[in-house]
Amino acid sequence: MGNGQIASLLNALASLLGDSRCLTDEASKHHFGRDWTRFCEPDPVAILFPESITEVQQIIALARRFEVPVVPSGGRTGLSGGAMAAQGELVLSLERMNRILASDTASKSITCQAGAVTAAVQEAAKQMGLMYPVDFASSGSSQIGGNIATNAGGIQVIRYGMTRNWVSGLKVVTGTGELLDLNKGLMKNNTGLDLRHLMIGSEGILGVIVEATLQLCSPPQDTGVAVLGMPSMPAIMSLLERLQAHSTLLAFEFFSDLALEKVINRHGVERPLTTACPFYVLLEYEHSGPEAEAVLLELIESAIDAGTVVDAVCSQNMAQARALWRLREDISETIAEWTPYKNDISTSVSGVPSLIERIEVIVGQRYPHFEVVWYGHIGDGNLHLNILKPDSMAVDEFQRHCKIVSAELFQVVKDSGGSISAEHGVGLLKKEFLHYSRSAEEIALMRAIKRLFDPDLILNPGKVFDLH
Ligand code: 2HG
Ligand code: ZN
């Protein structure tokens, strides 16, 4: 677009939204033009803050007329570059469309605008005596629309599943500006293809999510949190199996000693256990009273006696439970300072030990001098493997080095029948590796579907896959 065209576009947008909702200053462009990834510089043309569905449709109409791409933007807590705007795009922020529109106790649901912050929805559900069970460290800033667009997972997937399981209605503005009202909050609706599920996890390439109806559930009766020191990966997996046979797990997370050390050093907190172990498990369990809880605690004690668990600490109250959770939840933010090369892979739960074994060989050979931090939702078969950049190495050189190894790593993931992105999405970061998880036929169908919803290719172009 030439300068004249840009000026006309910005004039049209400013008269639609007013100057205060069409920002072009450098600080705003930098702030709203990127997510939590730090591998390229943001460079959008403007940041837009619509306040209604009609305004979203009008923005899309202008974007089509001026042939300018649009990046839908939520809380920008993504880790794959899906919300990056680095090529003169319009960033369409849902921040001002953040209202809870309806609470329906009989249907156990909440309807909200896409910009509603996850924690606000969780709180509204609590006021109804219910719970929105999708939860993660970024719940204070992530938004429902972004969660849906990335089918966000989090820390309780083992019990409640991903975002997809909780969306019963969606309003979406497509790339033609049309408004789709999908599934309308129904529990049962067998009337052909369910387009709602195409939108969930579509990373903004098919439409702008503007409203959602979310299902809620009853909160667990009573919960407890424990951190266990573990001698090995196989010990972690067999513990998982035994616990699942005797209790209801809300979370089953793991992290390595290096991950723990980084968090402890950063936050100046105590080690949870006196003995350092190669790995730790953090588990949260649901129970119906002291007797049920005792069964689980006895299981842990007998594992300690048998040497399959090294040591354990169990929360005695909410404050201790929160403190234990922080050891796990603070890892991602803590290690961000090392510009890590992030991997978010998964396989079947039973496939985890052999996948890790094979990856450890690659990592040991290829990254002998790098710090490697393991953690993740191991109870879901989801591992976060982060390689930390040595202080002395330039970001570009480090990224180049890691990318070469990615191919090898993803081949192993593919061989295990796993996924190269369990929960963070493809965005820009994993685009060139998509074929390790999806067949050529699948990608061709995805491209065709993209063209149906967005014939002018204005919605988040260049994300997930290229169009040729
Ligand atoms: C987590 O599980 C998040 O903490 C972030 O998914 C993972 O930073 C990461 O690699
Ligand atoms: Zn995660």
Query: Which pLDDT score is estimated for 369?
Result: 86
For 3-95, CATH gives: 3.30.43.10
Long-range contacts for 189-194 (Cβ within 8 Å, ≥24 apart)?
none
Cα–Cα distance measured from residue 329 to residue 72, given in angstroms and rounded to the nearest whole number? 27
**From-to residues of CATH 3.30.70.2740 in the chain:** 339-422
Residue bearing tokens 């061709």: 444
For 223-332, CATH gives: 3.30.70.2190
**From-to residues of CATH 3.30.70.2190 in the chain:** 223-332
What residues in the chain have per-residue pLDDT under 70? none
Residue bearing tokens 């069964």: 295
Cα–Cα distance measured from residue 275 to residue 254, given in angstroms and rounded to the nearest whole number? 16
Burial classification of residue 127, based on how many CB atoms lie within 10 Å of its CB (0-12 exposed, 13-18 middle, 19 or more buried):
exposed
Cα–Cα distance measured from residue 197 to residue 268, given in angstroms and rounded to the nearest whole number? 44
Query: Which pLDDT score is estimated for 39?
Result: 80
For β-strands 167-174 and 222-230, DSSP reports them as: unpaired
What 3-state class would DSSP assign to 398? helix
Task: Confirm if 184 and 212 have CB atoms less than 8 A apart.
Answer: no
Query: Which pLDDT score is estimated for 2?
Result: 86
pLDDT tens-digit series, residues 296-337:
999 999 999 999 999 999 999 999 999 999 999 999 999 999
DSSP 177: S
Query: Which atom of ligand 1 has the smallest separation from the CA of 336?
Result: 8
pLDDT tens-digit series, residues 397-407:
998 888 888 99
Residue bearing tokens 């004690």: 301
How many other β-carbons are positioned within 10 Å of the β-carbon of residue 336? Answer: 14
Residue 383 Cα to ligand 1 middle (Å): 9
- Where helices occur in 247-289 by DSSP H, the ranges are 257-267
Beta bridge partners of 318: none
DSSP characters for 361-397? Answer: HHHHHH-TTSEEEEEEEGGGTEEEEEEEPPTTS-HHH
Which protein residues are within 6 Å of ligand 1, measured from CB?
A: 79, 137, 332, 342, 344, 384, 386
Residue 384 Cα to ligand 2 middle (Å): 7
How many other β-carbons are positioned within 10 Å of the β-carbon of residue 374? Answer: 24
The bound ligand whose nearest atom lies closest to the alpha carbon of 332 is: 1
Burial classification of residue 235, based on how many CB atoms lie within 10 Å of its CB (0-12 exposed, 13-18 middle, 19 or more buried):
buried
Indicate which residue's Cα is closest to atom 3 of ligand 1. 332
Q: What is the pTM of this model?
A: 0.96
Query: Which pLDDT score is estimated for 40?
Result: 85
Query: Which pLDDT score is estimated for 313?
Result: 97
Q: What angle do CA 389, 394, 397 make, to 5 degrees?
A: 85
Query: Which atom of ligand 1 has the smallest separation from the CA of 155?
Result: 2
What 3-state class would DSSP assign to 418? coil
Residue 18 Cα to ligand 2 middle (Å): 39
DSSP 425: -
What 3-state class would DSSP assign to 289? coil
Residue bearing tokens 């019963």: 168
Architecture of the structural domain at 339-422: 2-Layer Sandwich (3.30)
Closest CA to 375 of 258, 265, 284, 238: 258
Return the best residue to mutate from 331, 333, 420 for the ligand 1 pocket (most ligand atoms within 8 A of CB). 331
H/E run at residue 22: strand 22-23
Architecture of the structural domain at 100-215: 2-Layer Sandwich (3.30)
Residue 384 Cα to ligand 1 middle (Å): 6
Cα–Cα distance measured from residue 7 to residue 103, given in angstroms and rounded to the nearest whole number? 43
Cα–Cα distance measured from residue 91 to residue 226, given in angstroms and rounded to the nearest whole number? 42
Task: Confirm if 201 and 161 have CB atoms less than 8 A apart.
Answer: no
Residue 296 Cα to ligand 1 middle (Å): 28
Closest CA to 183 of 174, 172, 202, 170: 170
Indicate which residue's Cα is closest to atom 5 of ligand 1. 332
Closest CA to 69 of 52, 95, 54, 48: 48
Query: Which pLDDT score is estimated for 403?
Result: 85
Q: How far apart are the first and last CA of the chain?
A: 22
Print burial letters for 381-402: b (CB count within 10 Å at least 16), e (below 16): bbbbbbbbbeeeeeeeebeebb
Q: What are phi and psi of 48, to 5 degrees?
A: -115, 140
Residue 92, C-beta contacts closer than 8 angstroms, at least 6 positions apart: 48, 50, 56, 59, 70, 71, 72, 73, 208
